[in-house]
Amino acid sequence: MIDHWEILDVYKALFAVAAGIILGLERELKDKVAGLKTITIICLGATLFGILSYKVGGNSNPTHIAAYVVSGVGFLGAGAIFKDGFSISGLTTAGIIWLAAAVGLAIGFGEFYLAGTFMVGALLIIFITPFINKLFKSKKITRQIQLKILKDNVSQKDELIKGLGNGLFFAEEKKISLVDNELEIMIEIVLAEDKIQWVQNYLLENKIVKSFSF
């Protein structure tokens, strides 16, 4: 096979860089783990795989190399997802990584309009959903409670957290430390908005709680 340079490949590379910058800029402005540089490189790399797949595979099997991009980019996306107790972050970033690879492949195969259409669609979703969330506000909120109890009352700690969990969606101890004979406990809770007053009353009425904030 003779290696040759084509002006169309340069256009594909430039389009991939532009698409990566557009998709990555939103993540960069929000200071996410995968920002402008990462998303742009992923989009550009996927474009190169698309070009190579088409040139090496030929008309008989043009998707041989490109097929591995779909599974390979999943590992990159998984690295951007973090789970902390009941909350999960990074799912949107992982989705954009996956989309950037798909857009890059589409550009590599010369489907410029298709890549542009789906990229615009993704950007519309990213920027419109905050307004939709304000209209249809979630009934669940996540809070962290920091409270202090005496060291002598440590045996009642689990009962305190269990009581919180019975009245809420979720309650879990996240951190505990001992300072001057007092236990400082951090508890993550998921509750309905109208339950905030109930939590305050529960902690105020519990005799082992010296102080709390959330």
Q: In this predicted structure, what is the pLDDT of residue 203? A: 81
The residue type at 17: V
Taking the model in full, what pTM does it have?
A: 0.65
Q: In this predicted structure, what is the pLDDT of residue 204? A: 82
Say if strands 87-89 and 82-84 run parallel, antiparallel, or are unpaired: antiparallel
Contact present, 209 and 149 (Cβ < 8 Å): yes
More confident residue, 142 or 43: 43
Report percent pLDDT > 90 for the chain. 6
Q: In this predicted structure, what is the pLDDT of residue 2? A: 47
Averaged pLDDT, 89-117: 87
Distance of CA 151 to the CA centre of its chain: 38
Residues 113-172 pLDDT 10s:
999 999 899 888 888 887 877 777 667 777 788 888 888 877 888 888 788 778 777 777
Q: In this predicted structure, what is the pLDDT of residue 15? A: 92
Domains of the chain and CATH, by start: 7-135 (no CATH), 140-213 (3.30.70.60)
Per-residue three-class SS string for 129-183: HHHHHHHCCCCEEEEEEEEEEEHHHHHHHHHHHHHHHHHCCEEEEEEEEEECCEE
Split at pLDDT 50, 70, 90, the class of 3 is: low
Q: Looking at the predicted structure, is the pLDDT value of residue 9 above 60?
A: yes
Split at pLDDT 50, 70, 90, the class of 58 is: low
Split at pLDDT 50, 70, 90, the class of 59 is: low
